[in-house]
Copies of this chain bind each other. A is one copy, B any other.
Amino acid sequence: RRYEVGVIAGDGIGPEVAEAAIPLIEKAAVAAGAEIAWTRYPWGCDYYHEHGRMMPADALDRLAPLDAIFFGAVGRPDVPDHVSVWELILPIRQAFSQYVNLRPMRLLPGVSTPLAGRGAADLDMVCVRENGEGEYSGLGARYDQGTPEESAEQIGRFTRRGIERVVRYAFSLAASRPRRLLASATKSNALQHSMVLWDEVVREVAADFPEVEWRPYHVDALAARMVTHPDTLDVIVASNLFGDILTDLGAAITGSLGLAPGANLNPDRTHPSMFEPIHGSAPDIAGRGVANPIGAIQAGALMLRELGLPSAHDALQNAVEQVLTEGTVRTPDLGGVAGTSEMAEAVAEAM
């Protein structure tokens, strides 16, 4: 089997971690009897300075026929970050109906958590983040700009359909996991339009999954719970913004933002899905070769699984976990001194 994968390595440490991960993903695919044809798209902030836009006008048309997209990171201090993300990653997520942003939050063996007395058995969560609408609808405006009366409105737009499809995905996922727990992040007390609809749809979908034990938590309480009682959490379903916040928190308590992968999934397969480390472009460490490639490598493993190569996924994931367990090669975010390529080489050897 042959897969066409587009690479948007992007900005900052994006290219460093993406290029470190690609040979490993390839190796795993080949060992599983598959072949990957990589096409690199040099889009991002450099492209922006040359062309006045983050990607070309026909970018989505060029990406549409691909089997998957592998993404690095976006953003740099010399481009306003609402421009960079609204012209690159967010249009891809939204135009390609990647309405599920799947983000495992699991403490891997050999990795230490900042939470006292917690181990791998306490930290095994996954967030299903709504990825296509909600707070990230982009709607809104600035008024009376430059005057003392200036104001801005930011509109979160939630549809029943949009909520239902992601919540259904989350319940199915919860039903497939041993503990069968689902926590829904809400804030329906204060956000009386959007989150009340969210809660209603969650309750309706829940009726189809009697085997799943679920409950809503206000997002503030849920953030606190992730720190105080992470062992009581399994699958979390959250709106776009809440999922964004909770998954960074989840990455922090499971060891490092540098480890965490994310999959922007189009479960209906009408368009390619996109896989990325959840960390950003980290301009402060870009170019120094010290970024942790494990987030990107694990994102690659998720991609292999979604492409229908579970054994390739397992081979790559097991290699990652072996290297972390041994703990001899560690990037600075994990308290070590290894560089990006050393870390990636260790994973390659473990394979």
Bound CA span A115–B226, Å:
12
Question: CB of A257 within 8 A of chain B?
Answer: yes
- The chain B residue sitting closest to A112, CB to CB, is B116
Of the candidates B81, B192, B245, the one whose C-beta lies within 8 Å of that of A219 is: B245
Does A57 reach chain B (CB closer than 8 Å)? no
User: With an 8 A cutoff between CB atoms, is A351 at the interface?
Assistant: no
* A190-B135, A241-B190, A248-B221 given; A154·B156 CB < 8 A: yes
Q: Name the distance in Å between A283's Cβ and chain B's nearest Cβ.
A: 13
Among the listed B85, B140, B192, B257, which residue makes an inter-chain contact with A138, where contact means beta carbons less than 8 Å apart? B192
CB-CB contacts of A67-84 with B at 8 A, as 1s and 0s? 000000001000011101
Which partner residue on chain B sits nearest A116 by CB separation? B116
13 new A-B contacts, CB < 8 A, other than A154-B194, A191-B241, A227-B227, are A82-B191, A85-B189, A112-B116, A135-B190, A148-B161, A151-B159, A152-B196, A154-B158, A154-B195, A155-B156, A220-B249, A221-B248, A221-B257
Q: Is the Cβ of A81 less than 8 Å from the Cβ of B116?
A: no
A193 touches B (CB below 8 Å): yes
* In the assembled complex, A187 has its CB within 8 A of some CB on chain B: yes
Does B153 lie within 8 Å of A81, measured CB to CB? no
Say whether A153 contacts B142, CB under 8 Å: no
A135 to chain B, nearest CB (A): 7
Write the nearest CB–CB distance from A282 to chain B, whole angstroms.
10
Answer whether residue A228 sits at the interface, using C-beta atoms and an 8 A cutoff: yes
- Give per-residue flags for A103-128: 1 if the beta carbon is below 8 A from chain B beta carbons, else 0: 00000000011111100000000000
**Can you list 20 A-B contacts with CB-CB less than 8 angstroms, sorted by A residue number?**
A82-B191, A82-B195, A86-B192, A114-B116, A135-B190, A135-B191, A140-B156, A140-B193, A140-B194, A141-B193, A142-B197, A150-B159, A150-B160, A152-B158, A153-B155, A154-B155, A155-B156, A187-B241, A223-B245, A224-B248
For the complex formed by this chain, how many copies does it contain in all? 2
Complex: chain B residue closest to A138, CB-CB:
B192
Which residues from chain B contact A43 at a C-beta distance below 8 Å? none
Closest B residue to A162 by beta carbon equals B151
A147 smallest CB distance to B (angstroms): 8
In the complex formed, the residue of B with least CB distance to A136 is B190
Contact pattern, A 136-176, Cβ under 8 Å of B = 1, otherwise 0: 10111110000011111111111111000000000000000
Is there a chain B Cβ closer than 8 Å to A188's Cβ? yes
Q: Which of A150, A190, A225: most chain B Cβ within 10 A? A: A190
Find chain B residues with CB under 8 A from A219 CB.
244-245
Query: A252 to B227, alpha carbons, bound, how many Å?
Result: 7
Quick check: A248 and B223 within 8 Å, CB to CB?
yes
Chain B residues, CB < 8 A from A158: 151-154
Q: Is A346 an interface residue (CB 8 A)?
A: no
**Nearest residue, chain B, Cβ from A159:** B151
Which residues of B sit under 8 angstroms from A156, Cβ to Cβ?
140, 153-156
Given A149-B160, A150-B160, A154-B158, the answer on whether A190 and B248 have CB atoms closer than 8 Å is no
CA gap between A81 and B142 in the complex, in Å:
31
A115 to B118 alpha-carbon distance, docked (Å): 10
